[in-house]
Amino acid sequence: MPIIVNVDVMLAKRKMQSKELAEKLDITPANLSILKTGKAKGIRFDTLEAICRILDCQPGDILEYVNE
């Protein structure tokens, strides 16, 4: 898949666990895992906005396009 999700990278940079991010986003850890592994078919802009707010980053820090 040419879209890479770098949530794990940002979590490590912010020294935050997935469980804590899921709680702050008010989503299940399983749904966050689906997003982190790139298995999600899409992401809502309000969810992306919340991730960026919580992790103090830009959407480009979370999502990356890699030409196959």
Cα separation values, 5 from 36, 40, Å: 6, 10
| Segment 35-54, tens digit of pLDDT | 999 899 999 999 999 999 99
- The model's pTM is 0.89
Q: Please state the separation of Cα 5 from the chain's center in Å.
A: 6
Angle at 25 between CA 56 and CA 17, to 5 degrees: 70
What are the backbone dihedrals phi and psi of residue 12, each rounded to the nearest 5 degrees, phi first?
-65, -40
The DSSP letter of residue 41 is S
Q: Has residue 27 got a pLDDT over 80? A: yes
For residue 66, give both structure tokens.
Answer: 């890699």
